[in-house]
Amino acid sequence: MDVAARFEELVGELLGSPGVTPPSGSGFGSSAMRVDNRIFAMLVRGRLVLKLPRSRVDALVDDGEGVRFDANKGTPMKEWFSLDPTSGLAWLPLAREALAFVGHR
């Protein structure tokens, strides 16, 4: 399954969660799922990008599962993780982690 189809499936899985809205609009964030209007997961340049606690991002990067997300500004973001497309990690549990993290802020 290609990355776009996987993301679409992920969106379908999470849409029933309280406060979650699907990707919409244009420009930055147009491919983003939001909870209470805050982005928690998005598809960027063919990669799943998630907002997670810094310590979790550090651990995932240390494990070689991906990199800190850089929004083309030259500075990787501490609480944003870009999953390597070849990673074997399941998307849904990671997205639920991001949803819980952002939803409780």
Give pLDDT tens digits for 29-60: 678 999 999 999 999 989 999 999 999 999 99
In this model, does residue 5 exceed pLDDT 90? Answer: yes
State residue 104's pLDDT score: 75
- Mean pLDDT, the chain, as a whole number? 91
This prediction's pTM:
0.92
Q: Where are the domains of the chain?
A: 3-103
pLDDT tier at 105, thresholds 50, 70, 90: low
Percent residues over pLDDT 90 in the chain: 75
* CATH number of 3-103, picked from 3.40.50.1170, 3.40.50.150, 3.90.1420.10, 3.90.1150.30: 3.90.1150.30
Q: How many CB atoms are located within 10 Å of the residue 82 CB?
A: 24
